[in-house]
Chain A
């Protein structure tokens, strides 16, 4: 346990990286996932088709493969960023497809009469979406998004194999320095993830209660 305590700074640094990964990829996934969902419901068939294909392909690809594509594939295409950015790209590409499906289910839950009413007062497609449909869709899918983001937080640990010094890679490194500390390290690391995901669920359940009042 002493060893773990001595290494607390490194461990915290690892978790800080994990949080950065999750937050960045989460934010970007929310944006891209929503765009994808909008593509999937928009009146232009090629966009709908593209959105559906993206989701089908990406959702059925193991995340590790997406990571390999970003970390080993992109450099071959002369696209070079830091490994952290590659990890954010991989997590975003992957998580967007799940956000998309969540948002799409939210969009489908919005009463069609309200959409009609929005069109009837002269709101164009974009504003109908942004003022009427999406605000309600997001309220409806807060619990869904919560689990998507918890999964994302845990998925950040895949980055361990792709040269990002997040919490799990720090665990591996320290475990390597002192194999006898494996259990304390595992417990501390698992607890760290638990703290993050519990904080996330807590924040989301508060959000859920707040938006429930407005529904």
Chain B
């Protein structure tokens, strides 16, 4: 537990009467990749959202680099800036070009000069294979391209942690690998990542830890090999049998 970047301890979250996160304990070491999976509605997205505090929690603690998450205001905005987030539905700023999307945060949040921010943005677009799309607006890009721009946008903030919430679920199959390639490259470069995904190939190749959630609880955790090959709980077995059925 010494080099933990993120630590969740006894985190609880309700939406009205609905208990969405139940006593969640989760530690992610620096440079680790954690894959979170579980059935729909099990609380995976909520887990991501409470980590960068898009949602407040009811009880428990979340720390990043040993410091508690600020409740609100400037400190909270700064905290969020240190955590990159990639959404299932990309959520690019539709009125801005790819370059504009990537450069916005560094300029407005980090206070970098425009030329400087745009140079870095171009490098990042190059890194995700979209150097030639810098001036395209989101509507002119395919889903896979949009998601890679979104990853570049998250990276531009030089985050300590990247959260991915089903980054490939909204993509056509032929585009999924483009995005996964980028993610694997990131994992190999030492980025700390929490990835909600059902892409077993990615999990096996990149994950240090797999976490299985159901009904707001972490039911099982382990290495990819342990989890996929020898799940212990019946819920995990059920789940795996369903996603492997076809």
Contact = CB atoms under 8 A, between A and B. Distances in A.
A and B touch in the complex (CB under 8 A): yes
Interface of A: 111, 113-114, 116-124, 127, 131-132, 135-136, 139, 214-215
A135 B137 CA distance: 15
B50 to A, nearest CB: 13
Give the interface centre of B81, B91, B150 by most chain A CB atoms within 10 Å: B91
Q: Taking chain B's interface residues, is the majority helix, strand, or loop, or is none over half, making it mixed?
A: mixed
5 closest cross-chain pairs (CB), A and B = A122-B81, A113-B91, A117-B91, A121-B105, A120-B85
B52 A120 contact: yes
B93 A117 contact: yes
Nearest to B82: A122
Give the interface centre of A111, A117, A120 by most chain B CB atoms within 10 Å: A120
Contacts of A135: 95
Nearest to B157: A121
Contacts of A131: 104, 108
Contacts of B94: 111, 114, 136, 215
A111 B91 CA distance: 8
B92 A114 contact: yes
Contacts of B52: 120
7 contacts: A117-B150, A120-B52, A121-B104, A123-B77, A127-B108, A214-B137, A215-B139
Contacts of A127: 108-109
Contacts of A122: 77-82, 105, 109, 157
Give the interface centre of A111, A113, A117, A127 by most chain B CB atoms within 10 Å: A117
Contacts of A120: 52, 54, 80, 83-85
Interface in B95-137: 95, 104-105, 108-109, 137
B242 interface: no
A200 B123 CA distance: 44
Chain B interface size, under 10 / 10 to 19 / 20 to 34 / 35 or more: 20 to 34
A86 to B, nearest CB: 38
Contacts of B154: 121
Given A123-B77, A124-B74, A124-B77, A118 B93 contact: yes
B54 A139 contact: no
Contacts of B90: 113
Contacts of B95: 135-136, 139, 214-215
Interface in B61-80: 73-74, 77-80
A73 to B, nearest CB: 40
Contacts of B83: 120
A110 to B, nearest CB: 9
A121 B153 contact: yes
Given A116-B54, A215-B94, 13 more contacts: A111-B94, A114-B91, A117-B85, A117-B91, A117-B150, A120-B52, A120-B83, A120-B85, A121-B109, A121-B153, A122-B109, A123-B109, A124-B73
Contacts of B77: 122-124
A32 to B, nearest CB: 24
A139 B92 CA distance: 16
A127 B93 CA distance: 13
Contacts of A114: 91-94
Contacts of B4: none
Nearest to B85: A120
B223 interface: no
B227 interface: no
B87 interface: yes
B47 to A, nearest CB: 15
A113 B89 contact: yes
Contacts of B80: 119-122
A139 B153 CA distance: 23
Contacts of B73: 124
B137 A117 contact: no
